[in-house]
Amino acid sequence: MKHLFIQGKEKNGLTLLLLHGTGGTEQDLLPIAEMVAPEANVLSVRGNVSENGMPRFFRRLAEGVFDEEDLIFRTNELNEFVNEQANVYGFDRSNVIAIGYSNGANIAASMLFHHKDSLKGAILYHAMVPRRGISLPELKDVSVFIGAGEQDPMIPAEQTKELAELLRQAGANVEEFWQTGGHQLTRDEVVESKKWLETYLT
């Protein structure tokens, strides 16, 4: 997959897996990584799917309606890719935290839904429930920050709460941060997620 890797202060320390929103690239979340954990390694990936030229991490049938088969295939593909890159760049596969926005947050959530040890934690900015009706793996050692907008036109508040609840039921430690805005990522969310990361995972 098209990607970039930036080595942090300690190769064996934390690695941030950056996953952009629809139409983004592997460059988009670099300033966020710099704010949240400036010393971490960064593996930033570009989605392998193109929707009218806009990179995404999996296909969708309509806005908010996912192509489930492709979602599963792409989730496995991304997880395998991270496994391989840990060997290529020599980072610690068990110390990876995803930071995803929108479509990127959705595939990060899907990694948690499908693969037990895929992520140590995740910062999900404006994520949806990736799949329903499946049992999640045990996530008791996983911490998740969810940033959400009360007025997000794409993600009703109930859906964010459903996502948080599904992750909690699987054992994850989940923190929700709500702001009054919409789908856009806000500075407040980034600041809160940095505090969260410092408290729970370092």
126 carries an active-site annotation: no
Count Cα neighbours of 128 within 13 Å in the Cβ-side half-sphere.
21
152 carries an active-site annotation: yes
Catalytic residue among 20, 28, 102, 110: 102
Residues 63-82 that bind ligand MLT (CB under 6 A): 63-64
Residue 62 tokens read as 């309509």
Catalytic residue among 67, 92, 117, 183: 183
User: Residues near 198 by Cβ (< 8 Å), separated by ≥ 6?
Assistant: none
SS3 8: coil
102 carries an active-site annotation: yes
Q: How far is the CB of 21 from ligand MLT (least distance, A)?
A: 5
Distance of CA 125 to the CA centre of its chain: 8
* Binding flag, residue 21, ligand MLT (CB under 6 A): yes
Stretch that binds ligand MLT, among 60-68, 70-78, 113-121, 173-181 (CB under 6 A): 60-68
Count Cα neighbours of 189 within 13 Å in the Cβ-side half-sphere.
26
* Binding flag, residue 103, ligand MLT (CB under 6 A): yes
Residue 202 tokens read as 């370092």
Q: How far is the CB of 32 from ligand MLT (least distance, A)?
A: 16
Q: Are 99 and 43 in contact (CB under 8 A)?
A: no
- Positions marked active-site: 102, 152, 183
Q: Which residues lie near ligand MLT (CB under 6 A)?
A: 21-22, 60, 63-64, 102-103, 106, 128, 154
